[in-house]
Amino acid sequence: MDLAALLRLADFEQAAELVLSAPTLAYVNGGAGGHRTVEHNRAAFEAVWLRPRVFADTCEAPDTEVTLFGRTFSSPVLLAPTSPQRILHEDAELAVARAAQETGALSIVSTDTHFPFPDIAAAAEDGCWFQLYAYDGRERIAETIEMAEAAGATALVVTADAHYPARRVSAQRAGFRTPPEVDFGTMRQLGILQGDVPASARIGRFPVTWDDLAWIRERTKLPVVVKGVLRAGDARRCSDLGVDGIIVSNHGGRQLDGVLPTLVALDEVVTEVGHERVVLVDGGVRSGTDIVKALALGARAVCVGRPYLWGLAVAGQAGVAAVINLLRLELGDALRQLGVAQVADLDSSFITTATAPRPHPADGPDHGQVDRTRHHDTIVRRAIR
């Protein structure tokens, strides 16, 4: 695999398309319903334009580091919790944790992992966050929190928008079923899963309430982050309960179609609690310039999901590391071109919103069409040989 030939995340996506089965690809790339939210997560970034400043102080090596809850990371790129990663590579979460360790990034690890969380945490020597899905009520939640703390988790991420099954039509149509090699090691270790893994790769969850969130906050000294917030009022209530961070997220468009894009919701949440809590965002990030846009709107960092899964599918740990490094490279380039010395200097003065006309055919193919030309397809095919 010539990873150096994959120069954009679109290249990794196409490379993954060439190595994955149709059902697996539909599961990874698909969303709920007709994919409207999946598409508009991307469109929201496309509607934001960058505004460079000229004659700024020269900075050949902009500082891309960000500090969250006392730990410094190489860039404001976090690996969002995803599952089941075993459908993409035999090393699954271990490969992702090792890639995060290698690149100075952070992995947020799902409860629904193939390998038991303690094994994954050991691979992430500098620490990882644990995504807390609730199963079987408070007693089981308490056991899960204790397991995560004992294994070395450095934060708990309570997901608020995935209590109920989603209607993922594209995955259903493609005939996705959990392959026999996939297990749920963390849930099996906790005693939540006994017997076979469900064909849908999902076990019924316990719907978390505001009272449950307050109870979770009281049970742990770890930072608590709530993932799935899209409204200022919900962000305010989370903050008032003592939550340390918020991830503005619509689950990558995978739970409910027609939900507003996360970049649109980000401004509302940042305005409400951004001065008092760490605010992150996920959904649709596909380049270093997308990261700039999110940070300029007030996010402290971004989470990516599908992109590192493409890297995992293509080349395991090396593929995940290549995706992280590519985003960091693009971010550094964007900062240089904007005249910004460090990510902390980004603010709303560097962006604007406008609707640009699509290029006329006489002007040549648009950004997306370029990636799908025969020439581009040939390059990617050569890279994966």
Kindly list the catalytic residues: 251
Distance in Å from the first CA to the final CA of the chain: 6
Residue that is written with structure tokens 């995340």 in the block: 9
At residue 342, the 3 state secondary structure works out as strand
Give residue 47's Cα distance to chain centre.
Answer: 21
Tell me how far apart the alpha carbons of residues 279 and 29 are, in angstroms, rounded to a whole number: 25
Beta strands, E only, 234-376: 245-248, 278-282, 301-304, 351-353
Q: What is the largest CA-CA distance in the chain?
A: 65
Tell me how far apart the alpha carbons of residues 253 and 38 are, in angstroms, rounded to a whole number: 5
Give residue 378's Cα distance to chain centre.
Answer: 29
Tell me how far apart the alpha carbons of residues 230 and 268 are, in angstroms, rounded to a whole number: 8
Nearest to 346 by CA among 277, 300, 281, 279: 300
Distances (CA, A) of 64 to 119, 216, 267, 286, 362: 29, 33, 22, 17, 39
- Which is it for the CA torsion 347, 106, 6, 182, positive or negative? negative
Encoded tokens for 1: 């695999």
Tell me how far apart the alpha carbons of residues 161 and 229 are, in angstroms, rounded to a whole number: 8
Encoded tokens for 76: 């404001």
DSSP H or E stretch at residue 171: helix 169-174
Q: Provide the β-strand partners of residue 227.
A: 159, 247
CB 203 within 8 A of CB 136: no
Tell me how far apart the alpha carbons of residues 317 and 99 are, in angstroms, rounded to a whole number: 5
Tell me how far apart the alpha carbons of residues 372 and 382 are, in angstroms, rounded to a whole number: 15
Beta strands, E only, 152-309: 155-159, 224-229, 245-248, 278-282, 301-304
